[in-house]
Amino acid sequence: MKSFNNDIGAYAFLGLLVATVWAIPLAVFLHRDAHGSPMELPRCLEARTLDQVRAALEAQGNRTVLGLYAATEVRSGANRDYRRCMATVVTDDGEAHIGFTIGWHDRRNGIPFWAGDGLPSSRQSVSKH
> Which tops the pLDDT comparison, 124 or 47?
47
pTM above 0.75, yes or no: no
How far does Cα 78 stand from its chain's mean position?
15
- Domain hosting residue 52, numbered range: 47-124
* 35 part of a folded domain: no
Same domain, 117 and 56: yes
In a domain, 41, yes or no: no
C-alpha to C-alpha distance for 51 and 120, rounded to whole angstroms: 19
pLDDT at residue 64 tops 80: yes
Contact (Cβ atoms closer than 8 angstroms) between residue 115 and residue 104: no
Across the range 113-126, mean pLDDT stands at 75
pLDDT in tens, 18-29: 555 565 555 555
Q: Are 93 and 64 in contact (CB under 8 A)?
A: no
- For the cut 60, the answer to whether the pLDDT of residue 37 exceeds it is no
Phi and psi torsions of 78, nearest 5°? -60, -35
